[in-house]
C-alpha cells in the first residue's frame, strides 16, 4: 500500500493504491486557510459557516470514496476486511471497529444511497447527517433503499434549508420508508426492542455514565418525570442548575432514596397521536409520539391498549389535518385552549427546535399586555423557554401564523429560515380517487 499527501495553500490531494485498485481524488477548497481567519461582518460569518460545512462534507465524501474503493467484496466479518481495518486504524486515528463501521457506511452510501453521497460531494451533507439517514433505511432492501434515496432527493429539493438538518432529514426519510415498505418499520422496532439494555461506562475524573436503551414512550415518560421533579426542586434550590438536579433526582429514584419532591402522574405523560382507522387496525400509518416522531402502528396500538393510557378525542379538519376541537369532559376553557395549541403545534415553533409543546411556554403572538392580544388558539404558539426569551432579543425577528402553521425566523446574521407545521392527520385529497401524498411538502415538527 502506498499513501502520498501534498498540501498547498488552495487545495489538497491524495493518491491511494491498495493492491490492484487505486483511487485518485482531488478536492480544491478556496481560501482554505482564510475560512478560519478573523471574520467580523455578518455576511462573512454566514459565508464562512457555509464554507466550513462545505469543507467538512466534501472531506467526509472523500473518505467514503476512498474506503469504498478498497472493498474487495469480502464479508463484513472476513479476515481480509478486519485486517484492512487494523492496518488503517492508526492512520485514520480510529479504533479497528471504528474503521469497520466507516467502511460499512461507505459501502451503504455507495450502493444504497448514491444520491445522498452526491449531496455530500456537493458540500450539503456531512457524514453524521448521512449516517442518521442510513440508520432509518437500514431495515429495507437495497432496491427499496435506492427508491427512498430518489424520493428523498426530490422532497428535499422542495423544502426549506432547515429540512437538511440531521433530525429533520432522518424524519423525512422515515416518512418515505413507511410509504415504500410499511412492514419494515415494525420489524425493525421489534428487533430494537429485543436489544433493550442498561450500560455503564466509567469515565475520567471519577465520573461515569449510566444509560438505558428503552422503548421511546417509556424513556420519554421517565425523562419527563425526572425533569418535572428537578424543575420543582429548582424553585427552592439555586445552588444547583437543572442538569445537576436531574442527575441527582435520577440517582435518588434508582437507589430508592427520597428525592425530596413529588409531582403528579401527569408530569410523566407522553403524547401519542393516532388516527382512528389506525387504532382500529384498518390502517398502518399516521401514528407518532411528540418529540420522537413516527412510530410503527403495532407499537402505537400497544401503548394505546395499556390499562394506564388515557384517551383524548381530537377533532380534525379533514381538508387540512389540523385539530379544531378537543373533548371537554374535564378541562376548563382556558386549559382546553392550551391543550389544543399543544396538540396542534406539537413542538416549539422555532424551525430547528424539537422541544415538545407540552414543555413549552404558551406564547402570545400579539403580546397580551402590550398589544392587547387575545388568549386564543389564533394568537398562540408554543415556544420553549429559551426561544421565548430570545423572541424579543436584539436582531431576532420571529413570525408565526397559527392558522396556516408557517414559521419564519430571521437571525442576527440576517438569514431567514422558514418552516411549515406538520398536520396532526394527513389531509384528505380533494379527489377521492387520489390518495394523499405521504411525501408532501410539509416540513416536520422542528427537530
Q: What is the pLDDT of residues 231-276, one digit of tens each?
A: 999 999 989 999 999 999 999 999 999 999 988 776 667 778 778 7
Per-residue pLDDT tens digits for 362-388: 888 777 667 666 777 888 889 998 999
**DSSP string over 354-409:** --BGGGSEEEESS-TTTT---SSGGGEEEE-HHHHHHTTSTT-EEEEETTTTEEEE
Cell numbers of 300, please? 402505537
321-347 burial code (b ≥16 CB/10 A, e <16): bbbeebeeeeeeeeebbbbbbbbbbbb
**Percentage of residues of the chain with pLDDT beyond 70:** 79
The C-alpha atoms of residue 296 and residue 183 are separated, in whole angstroms, by: 9
148 pLDDT above the threshold of 90: yes
**Percentage of residues of the chain with pLDDT beyond 90:** 36
- Report pLDDT for 442: 46
Contact at 8 Å (CB) between 189 and 139?
A: no
186 band by pLDDT with thresholds 50, 70 and 90: confident
The C-alpha atoms of residue 403 and residue 381 are separated, in whole angstroms, by: 11
**298 or 170: which leads in pLDDT:** 170
- Strand 288-289 to 272-273 pairing: antiparallel
Contact at 8 Å (CB) between 443 and 163?
A: yes
- Report pLDDT for 37: 54
Average of per-residue pLDDT values in the chain: 80
Angle at 91 between CA 87 and CA 93, to 5 degrees: 110
* C-alpha distances out from residue 338 to 136, 139, 225, 226, 359, Å: 33, 39, 20, 23, 12
Angle at 180 between CA 175 and CA 186, to 5 degrees: 70
- Report pLDDT for 410: 92
The C-alpha atoms of residue 217 and residue 284 are separated, in whole angstroms, by: 19
Threshold 0.85, pTM exceeds: no
Per-residue pLDDT tens digits for 191-200: 888 889 999 9
432 pLDDT above the threshold of 70: no
117 pLDDT above the threshold of 70: yes
Neighbours of 205 (CB within 10 A): 4
326 band by pLDDT with thresholds 50, 70 and 90: low
Summarize the confidence of residues 45-66 as an average pLDDT.
92
**DSSP string over 29-52:** -TTTTGGGS---SHHHHHHHHHHH
Angle at 348 between CA 343 and CA 349, to 5 degrees: 95
358 pLDDT above the threshold of 80: yes
Summarize the confidence of residues 266-290 as an average pLDDT.
76
In terms of phi and psi (left: phi > 0; alpha: psi -120 to 50; beta: otherwise), the region of 405 is: left
392 pLDDT above the threshold of 80: yes
Highest mean pLDDT among 180-184, 221-225, 313-317: 221-225
- Report pLDDT for 428: 59
Amino acid at each position: 500500500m502506498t499513501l502520498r499527501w501534498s498540501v498547498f495553500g488552495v487545495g489538497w490531494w491524495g493518491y491511494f493504491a491498495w493492491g490492484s485498485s487505486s483511487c485518485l481524488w482531488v478536492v480544491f477548497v478556496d481560501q482554505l486557510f482564510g475560512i478560519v481567519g478573523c471574520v467580523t461582518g455578518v455576511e462573512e460569518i454566514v459565508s464562512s459557516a457555509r464554507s466550513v460545512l462545505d469543507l467538512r462534507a466534501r472531506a467526509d465524501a472523500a473518505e467514503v470514496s476512498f474506503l469504498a474503493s478498497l472493498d474487495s467484496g469480502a464479508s463484513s466479518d472476513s479476515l481480509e476486511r478486519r485486517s484492512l481495518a487494523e492496518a488503517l486504524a492508526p492512520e485514520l486515528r480510529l479504533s479497528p471497529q471504528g474503521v469497520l463501521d466507516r467502511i460499512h457506511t461507505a459501502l451503504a452510501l455507495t450502493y444504497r444511497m448514491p444520491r445522498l453521497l452526491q449531496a455530500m460531494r456537493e458540500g450539503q451533507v456531512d457524514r453524521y447527517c448521512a449516517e442518521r439517514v442510513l440508520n432509518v433505511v437500514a431495515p429495507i432492501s437495497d432496491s427499496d433503499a435506492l427508491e427512498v434515496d430518489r424520493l428523498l432527493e426530490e422532497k428535499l429539493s422542495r423544502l426549506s434549508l432547515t429540512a437538511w438538518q440531521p433530525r429533520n432529514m432522518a424524519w423525512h426519510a422515515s416518512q418515505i420508508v413507511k410509504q415504500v415498505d410499511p412492514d419494515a418499520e415494525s420489524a425493525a422496532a421489534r428487533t430494537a426492542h429485543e436489544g433493550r439494555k442498561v450500560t455503564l461506562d466509567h469515565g475520567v475524573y471519577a465520573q461515569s455514565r449510566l444509560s438505558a436503551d428503552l422503548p421511546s414512550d417509556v424513556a420519554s415518560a421517565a425523562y419527563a418525570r425526572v425533569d418535572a421533579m428537578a424543575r420543582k426542586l429548582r424553585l427552592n434550590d439555586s445552588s444547583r442548575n437543572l442538569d445537576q438536579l436531574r442527575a441527582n433526582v435520577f440517582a435518588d429514584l434508582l437507589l430508592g432514596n427520597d428525592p425530596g419532591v413529588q409531582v403528579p402522574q401527569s408530569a410523566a405523560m407522553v403524547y401519542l397521536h393516532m388516527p382512528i382507522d389506525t387504532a382500529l387496525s384498518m390502517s398502518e400509518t399516521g401514528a407518532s409520539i411528540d418529540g420522537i416522531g413516527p412510530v410503527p402502528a403495532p407499537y402505537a396500538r400497544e401503548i394505546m391498549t395499556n390499562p394506564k393510557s388515557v384517551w383524548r378525542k381530537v377533532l380534525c379538519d379533514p381538508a387540512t389535518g389540523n385539530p379544531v376541537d378537543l373533548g371537554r369532559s374535564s378541562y376548563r376553557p382556558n386549559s382546553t385552549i392550551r391543550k389544543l395549541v399543544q396538540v396542534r403545534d406539537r413542538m416549539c415553533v422555532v424551525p430547528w427546535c424539537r422541544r415538545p409543546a407540552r414543555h413549552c411556554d404558551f406564547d402570545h403572538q400579539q403580546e397580551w399586555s402590550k398589544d392587547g392580544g387575545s388568549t386564543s388558539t389564533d394568537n398562540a404558539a408554543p415556544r420553549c423557554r429559551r426561544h421565548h426569551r430570545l423572541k424579543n432579543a436584539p436582531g431576532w425577528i420571529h413570525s408565526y401564523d397559527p392558522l396556516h402553521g408557517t414559521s419564519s425566523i430571521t437571525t442576527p446574521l440576517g438569514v431567514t429560515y422558514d418552516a411549515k407545521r406538520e398536520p396532526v392527520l394527513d389531509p384528505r385529497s380533494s379527489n377521492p380517487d387520489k390518495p394523499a401524498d405521504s411525501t408532501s411538502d410539509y416540513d416536520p415538527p422542528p427537530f
